[in-house]
Amino acid sequence: MADGQDKKIDAATGTELKGHEWDGIAELDTPLPRWWLWTFYATIIFAIGYVIAYPAIPMLHDYTRGMLGWSSRGALDKELAAREAEIAPLRRAIADTAITDLPGKPQLMQAAVEGGRAAFKVHCVQCHGSGAAGAKGYPNLNDDDWLWGGDLATIEKTITDGVRNPNHDATRVSMMPAFGRDQLLTSAQVNDVVAHVRVISRQDKASAASQRGTQVFADNCAVCHGPDGKGTRALGAPNLTDGIWLYGGDAETIHETVWNSRQGVMPRWDDKLDKATIRMLATYVHSLGGGEATPVDETADNEATARP
Amino acid sequence: MLMPAGSSDLYEKRKGVYPKAVDGFYRRLKWAIMAVTLAIYWVTPWLRWDRGPYAPDQAVLVDLAHRRFYMFAIEIWPHEFYYVAGLLIMAGIGLFLVTSAVGRAWCGYACPQTVWTDLYQHVERFTDGDRNAQIRLAKAPWSAAKIARRLAKWSIWLGIAFATGGAWIFYFADAPRLSHDFWAGSAAPVAYATVAVLTATTLLLGGFMREQVCIYMCPWPRIQTAMLDEKSLVVTYKDWRGEQRGSVKKAQAKPDLFGDCIDCNQCVAVCPTGIDIREGAQVGCITCALCIDACDKVMAQVGRPRGLIDYCTQEDAEAEKQGAAPRPVLKTLLRPRTLAYAAVWLSIGAAMLFALGARTRIDIAAQQDRNPIFVRLSDGAIRNAYMVKVRNMEARPRPVTVAVEGLPGAMLWTDAMPREQAAATVTATVPADSVAKLRLFIAAPAPGPQRQDFAFTVRATDREGGGDREPARFERP
């Protein structure tokens, strides 16, 4: 086939034939256009240059890194650093402004809320959900019920130090006893106090059990949850009379809560995030619809704070 | 034009066109139309229209930056773009109407290419002289005198081109301020770029390309030619009257043999597209009617009746050939096709005017938060959140009241107020000519359907009033 003798010239075009033939159809051996060839050579030269300059050839445990030292990860880092530098003044301004003063600076406040929205998606959604709607045991941050308080400074403190964060003195701690498991109450007493809680949260009508439970509640629970069960924020004791339940308001769940207690943990963030990010997170959480006004007198007991 | 001579048969080298000056009815009509169209183009951006303190006072303004279109008393927002679409449809049907009635009148009189080419040709006559002088100058070798004339002509052309390109930008920004900024060098780069591009195209299209734009580049002659019918007015050489061509002397010798055309070539000399109308209707004829003026003048000189070249429909031409009298112009113009176009054109216009008069200048849109869809509040009520946008299309701030319809027990508040201030309605002031965004919370009693349809309503509480409603949905666990 490649023999010179087999070569034939096509009469119509004057071009050599390849020598293949299919049912009388032959292939012309048309030379490549010059421009195409030169382009092809140019791509080869470019490829050699590229292999030298950029990461190219995979090795067993590594790869050739190229003389320019470029990597896509490095490029990303550079872009991120540039972005960080761009917003650094804003972060500084937020870090330098007391959180209670932020609402007075609407532009800074808005930047903080948006920054918080982004940071929330990274650090908080794992427990609180992408819409901050929470889950069983993880508070819904959209509503108006707060364990420790819903004003800006209180939210910031909660994020900073966490709740029941081990080995951290400043963390928020509320220790509800495991009344059943630790035999502080008898099984009957636990049932009675559950019935009482169901009544004060207006889920059940008063019954003999709830009547008995009233006294159990007064003796064991009121110290933290208050005589009427409305909770005490300073102690992180939840309001038991409202429509919001962290673990569930049905009798079975309340029974489990009283029997075993609940010891939900939120990590402290001051060792993981900078001050500005925590501040931004606090403003974002505050903006979700349940945020409360800063108490006028900061020394006043949180319990006395007007609630919406 | 730029092909080397004899390089290929596929291209035809441009033959120079040096139209001769002519006077007559149609020439004067063209003068008038040129004056009016150029005046509209140059004057319009400088007209003022008082819209109060919150809106620009330029009568006609396409404010791209703020997405507003002002035309005298009418202000159009981007979502009302269908008015502009309607105008474009009217322009299209208007062209159908004009074309079916009077042929390519747009091409002949009002097209910017025609108007500016005409203007440039007058400049050319001013600097170089009339047709014969121009031909002589074109053939003459380059000399100091020729260079001087060319420079003079090109400078004036460039001046006109700059004025043309320069005027365009004033439609898109406040004209007096932009004019000041433009000369001070502080206008936006896009303004300078636009002026540069339009100056270049004006100079190129009006000075050098001219009839080639009409003959080779523009799709419109093809479309118009397709829209002409046997009842449309076209410029017609009445060959049954003109042929056989011959000089006056020859005609006197043999009156039976020769027609009215004395073959003086004046119709060709004045033609701005360089065609010979005596070859019949053709795509190069823009029906500017200057050949009619030229021929009428010659006919008057030799004492023959005018109208050897005239506006004439194909149908009338056939009739005249048979010896019948031409029909009155009105009858040609008023026929079912033109009347139908006119009816469609007018009804679209009337519908748009009606819609303009009846449109609301306040409008509400609402988008529900999807994550979370609902929130249970401590008092047991269910809260949904919405991004509500109230659009105030008047050039003054307006107080509005937003309320809900069909959601019993609903209480409204915004993210700017505590829930204690929740009420059945929320009031806001929407700044002039803008959209107010309200993040609105609605709390309603928990008992109720899982998905409840209701509507947001907005009502302006000023003297003029007006309002809008927007369907929405309230969701419960």
| pLDDT of B454 above 60 | yes
Local structure of B111: helix, strand or coil: coil
| pLDDT of A11 above 90 | no
What pLDDT sits at residue B2?
Answer: 45
| pLDDT of B10 above 80 | no
Contacts of B122-128 with C-beta under 8 Å, sequence gap 24+, read B123/B153, B123/B156, B123/B157, B123/B160, B124/B153, B125/B21, B126/B156, B127/B152, B127/B153, B127/B156, B128/B153
- Give the nearest chain A residue to B385 (CA atoms): A289
- Report pLDDT digits (tens) over A43-61: 999 999 999 999 999 999 9
Residue-by-residue DSSP string for B7-53: S-SS--PPPP--PPP--SHHHHHHHHHHHHHHHHHHHGGG-B----T
CATH topology of domain A73-170+266-304: Cytochrome Bc1 Complex; Chain D, domain 2 (1.10.760)
Please name the member of B379, B383, B385 whose beta carbon is closest to the beta carbon of A242: B379
Residue B50 burial class via C-beta count within 10 angstroms: exposed 0-12, middle 13-18, buried 19 and up: exposed
Taking a C-beta distance cutoff of 8 angstroms, is the pair B18, B273 a contact?
Answer: no
Contacts of A293 in chain B (CB under 8 A): 418
What pLDDT sits at residue B9?
Answer: 44
Contacts of B415 in chain A (CB under 8 A): 287, 289
Reference B237, options B166, B157, B321, B144; nearest CA is B321
Rounded to an integer, the average pLDDT of A123-137 is 94
Using CA atoms, how far apart are residues B471 and B407, in angstroms rounded to an integer?
12
Local structure of B189: helix, strand or coil: helix
- Report pLDDT digits (tens) over B36-60: 999 999 999 999 999 888 888 999 9
Top pLDDT among A256 and B249 is at A256
| Region class of A162: left (phi > 0), else alpha (psi between -120 and 50), else beta | left
CA-only gyration radius of chain B, Å: 33
Rounded to an integer, the average pLDDT of A80-91 is 94
CATH number of A187-260: 1.10.760.10
Local structure of B334: helix, strand or coil: coil
| pLDDT of B3 above 50 | no
What pLDDT sits at residue A164?
Answer: 94
Give all strands (DSSP E) within B113-206, no chain letters: none
Interface of A with B in 118-147 (CB under 8 A): 129-133, 140, 142-145
What pLDDT sits at residue A275?
Answer: 94
| Sign of the alpha-carbon torsion through B62, B68, B71, B72 | negative
Reference B225, options B135, B314, B155, B335; nearest CA is B314
| Region class of B456: left (phi > 0), else alpha (psi between -120 and 50), else beta | beta
CA distances from A279 to A102, A108, B18, B282 (A): 10, 11, 79, 78
Reference B171, options B149, B144, B198; nearest CA is B198
The confidence band for A197, taking pLDDT boundaries of 50, 70 and 90, is very high
What pLDDT sits at residue A304?
Answer: 43
**Residues contacting B270, CB < 8 A, separation 6+:** B19, B20, B21, B22, B290, B291, B293, B294
- Report pLDDT digits (tens) over A274-300: 999 999 999 999 999 888 988 876 454
The confidence band for A308, taking pLDDT boundaries of 50, 70 and 90, is very low
Reference B394, options B360, B427, B428, B436; nearest CA is B360
Using CA atoms, how far apart are residues B67 and B391, in angstroms rounded to an integer?
14
Rounded to an integer, the average pLDDT of B68-93 is 90
Amino acid A68 reads L
Average pLDDT, chain B: 90
The confidence band for B246, taking pLDDT boundaries of 50, 70 and 90, is confident
- Report pLDDT digits (tens) over B345-356: 999 999 999 998
What pLDDT sits at residue B221?
Answer: 87
What pLDDT sits at residue A214?
Answer: 95
Rounded to an integer, the average pLDDT of B14-38 is 93
Please name the member of A144, A243, A287 whose beta carbon is closest to the beta carbon of B419: A144
Instruction: Kindly state the DSSP code that residue A141 receives in the 8-state scheme.
Output: S
Measured in angstroms, the CA of A271 and the nearest CA of chain B are apart by 30
- Report pLDDT digits (tens) over A215-245: 999 999 999 999 999 999 999 999 999 989 9
8 Å CB contact of B378 and A243? yes
Domain boundaries, chain A: 73-170+266-304, 187-260
Using CA atoms, how far apart are residues A2 and A41, in angstroms rounded to an integer?
25
CA distances from A116 to A119, A125, A140, A279, A282 (A): 5, 12, 16, 8, 7
CATH number of B362-475: 2.60.40.10
Rounded to an integer, the average pLDDT of B357-381 is 91
Numbered ranges of CATH 2.60.40.10 in chain B: 362-475
Rounded to an integer, the average pLDDT of A112-120 is 95
8 Å CB contact of A143 and B418? no
The owner of tokens 């010891």 is A263
- Report pLDDT digits (tens) over B316-347: 898 888 888 777 778 778 889 999 999 999 99
What pLDDT sits at residue B12?
Answer: 63
What pLDDT sits at residue B11?
Answer: 55
Mode of pairing for the β-strands spanning B467-475 and B451-460: antiparallel
The confidence band for A305, taking pLDDT boundaries of 50, 70 and 90, is very low
What is the number of other CB atoms lying within 10 angstroms of the CB of residue B363? 20
- Give the nearest chain B residue to A292 (CA atoms): B418
- Report pLDDT digits (tens) over B265-307: 999 999 999 999 999 888 889 999 999 999 999 999 998 999 9
Q: How many CB pairs under 8 A join A and B?
A: 53
Contacts of B369 in chain A (CB under 8 A): 131
Rounded to an integer, the average pLDDT of B64-73 is 89
8 Å CB contact of B378 and A287? no
